[in-house]
């Protein structure tokens, strides 16, 4: 009996060891920006279908690299792939599938400021350029009349990894500040003039939370989860706007209505027109090879994306993301029909 029991235990252990190969039906990697909503989607979808998806939030740059090297089944990014990156993808053409919209917020840790801080794009750019270095700088004071600002130094916190959140943030700064556009410009990785780095949205949030006088940029959900203050931003219409789902939706409204029928969805909505639009808003994308080399995995991936664009969208608002416009979701569902499945 002991031998039989031991054989049973060995068999169980071997089965457990082999399980992950089948248990993890799909693997993905990329942006930290949408990780809260993706984590919920993957959990909900596994409960509904039994399909398990392993996602590593390593940053948009890492997601693009892993997809390009075909070490994951899909990538995720807040920065659309460049033409050069698309050309280097080993698995052929890649399509961009917007999933939700979100806001990058300017978070700060200044205990002396008891009301919500107001900032505009040019002042924010000059803070991150190291030109505005004190919290009581006249430019900040002019935007916050009646607010007593401390004389303390401003400590900038930025991302240290290749980041779609950085891309959205620097895309915005480049759109409002000629000085920023000239250098360092926009990108997933830039040469930051000043400040210290944190890895992922979590890393920046952690640094800002711990360091009085600091300022950084993170996705809205991370600011709320960490109970961090974040600024109202002056938009292109001259209104100061709080980052909310409605304000992100307003930022997308104009851009979505003007998308051409043959769009590849690599579109920026920063500094969007409209008095209610929050200016540092963005889509986030899943990256999928147009030619799926494994038919079984490809079908599972497409089934999940279809579910995300329909059922999954319903949970976006609860995690501080704006769902896609219904018309856009319908266009994307049709686009998925162009993905080809081919057995290895």
Q: Is the pLDDT of residue 4 over 80?
A: no
- What are the pLDDT digits (tens) for 283-293? 999 999 999 99
Using a pLDDT cut of 70, give the percent of the chain over it. Answer: 91
Maximum C-alpha span of the chain? 84
Q: Is the pLDDT of residue 2 over 80?
A: no
Identify the pLDDT of residue 233: 98
Q: Is the pLDDT of residue 261 over 90?
A: no
Identify the pLDDT of residue 273: 87
Tokens of 132: 């505005």
Q: Which helix (H) or strand (E) holds 15?
A: helix 2-23
Residue 274's SS3 state is coil
Are 22-100+282-341 and 103-252 in the same CATH fold?
yes
Q: Which helix (H) or strand (E) holds 287?
A: strand 281-289
Q: Residue range 50-72: average pLDDT?
A: 96
Q: How far is it, in rounded angstroms, from Cα 248 to Cα 171?
A: 16
- What are the pLDDT digits (tens) for 13-57? 333 333 343 457 999 999 999 999 999 999 999 999 999 999 999
Q: Is the pLDDT of residue 12 over 70?
A: no
Q: How far is it, in rounded angstroms, from Cα 278 to Cα 102?
A: 10
Around Cβ 238, how many Cβ atoms within 10 Å?
8
Residue boundaries of the structural domains of the chain: 22-100+282-341, 103-252
Q: What is the DSSP letter of 154?
A: P
Q: Is the pLDDT of residue 3 over 60?
A: no
Q: How far is it, in rounded angstroms, from Cα 269 to Cα 254?
A: 9
Identify the pLDDT of residue 23: 53
Work out whether strand 214-219 and strand 155-159 pair parallel, antiparallel, or are unpaired. Answer: parallel
Can you identify the CATH homologous superfamily of domain 103-252? Periplasmic binding protein-like II (3.40.190.10)
Q: Is 167 exposed, middle or buried (0-12, 13-18, 19+ CB in 10 A)?
A: buried
Tokens of 135: 């919290």
Identify the pLDDT of residue 254: 67
Which CATH number is 22-100+282-341 given? 3.40.190.10
Identify the pLDDT of residue 343: 54
Q: What are phi and psi of 323, to 5 degrees?
A: -70, 160
HEC-encoded secondary structure of 89-137: CCCCCEEEEEEEEEEEEEEEECCCCCCCCEECHHHHHHHHCCCCCECCC
CA distances from 327 to 102, 134, 252, 304 (A): 18, 46, 13, 19
What are the residues facing 106 on neighbouring strands?
217
Identify the pLDDT of residue 13: 37
| 93 and 289 Cβ atoms separated by less than 8 Å | yes
Q: What is the pTM of this model?
A: 0.86
| 243 and 103 Cβ atoms separated by less than 8 Å | yes
Q: How far is it, in rounded angstroms, from Cα 88 to Cα 77?
A: 16
Q: Is the pLDDT of residue 247 over 70?
A: yes
CA distances from 153 to 122, 147, 196, 205 (A): 19, 17, 14, 19
The residue whose two tokens read 């979100």 is 102
Q: Residue range 82-109: average pLDDT?
A: 96
Residue predicted with more confidence, 260 or 94: 94
What are the residues facing 105 on neighbouring strands?
218
Identify the pLDDT of residue 29: 98
- Rg over CA atoms, the chain: 22
Per-residue confidence at 342, pLDDT binned at 50, 70, 90?
A: confident
Peptide bond into 184 cis (omega under 30): yes
Q: Is the pLDDT of residue 7 over 60?
A: no
Q: What is the DSSP letter of 29?
A: E
Identify the pLDDT of residue 8: 41
Task: Mean pLDDT check: name the lowest of 117-126, 212-221, 236-245, 247-256.
Answer: 247-256
What average pLDDT does the chain have? 91
CA distance from start to end of the chain:
45
Q: Is the pLDDT of residue 189 over 60?
A: yes
Q: How far is it, in rounded angstroms, from Cα 294 to Cα 90?
A: 15
């Amino acid at each position: 009996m002991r031998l039989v029991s031991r054989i049973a235990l060995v068999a169980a252990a071997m089965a457990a060891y082999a399980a992950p190969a089948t248990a993890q039906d799909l693997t993905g990697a990329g942006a930290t920006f949408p990780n809260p909503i993706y984590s919920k989607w993957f959990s909900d979808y596994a409960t509904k279908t039994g399909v398990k998806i392993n996602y590593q939030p390593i940053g948009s740059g890492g997601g693009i690299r892993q997809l390009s090297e075909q070490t994951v089944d899909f990538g995720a990014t807040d920065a659309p792939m460049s033409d050069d990156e698309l050309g280097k993808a080993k698995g052929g053409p890649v399509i961009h599938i917007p999933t939700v919209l979100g806001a990058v917020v300017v978070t700060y840790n200044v205990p002396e400021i008891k009301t919500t801080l107001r900032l505009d794009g040019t002042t924010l750019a000059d803070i991150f350029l190291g030109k505005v270095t004190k919290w009581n700088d006249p430019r900040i004071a002019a935007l916050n009349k009646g607010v007593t600002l401390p004389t303390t130094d401003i400590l900038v916190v930025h991302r240290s990894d290749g980041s779609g959140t950085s891309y959205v943030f620097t895309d915005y700064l480049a759109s409002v500040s000629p000085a920023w556009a000239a250098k360092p410009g926009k990108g997933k990785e830039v040469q930051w003039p000043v400040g210290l780095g944190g890895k992922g949205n979590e890393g920046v949030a952690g640094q800002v939370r711990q360091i009085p006088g600091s300022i950084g940029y993170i996705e809205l959900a991370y600011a709320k989860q960490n109970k961090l203050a974040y600024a109202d931003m002056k938009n292109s219409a001259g209104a100061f706007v709080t980052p909310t789902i409605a304000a992100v939706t307003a930022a997308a409204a104009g851009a979505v209505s003007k998308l051409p029928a043959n769009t590849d969805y690599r579109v920026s909505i920063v500094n969007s027109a409209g008095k209610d639009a929050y200016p540092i808003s963005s889509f986030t994308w899943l990256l999928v090879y147009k030619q799926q080399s494994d038919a079984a995995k490809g079908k599972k991936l497409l089934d999940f994306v279809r579910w995300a664009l329909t059922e999954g969208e319903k949970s976006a608002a609860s995690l501080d993301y704006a769902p896609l416009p219904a018309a856009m979701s319908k266009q994307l569902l049709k686009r998925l029909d162009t993905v080809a499945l081919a057995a290895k």
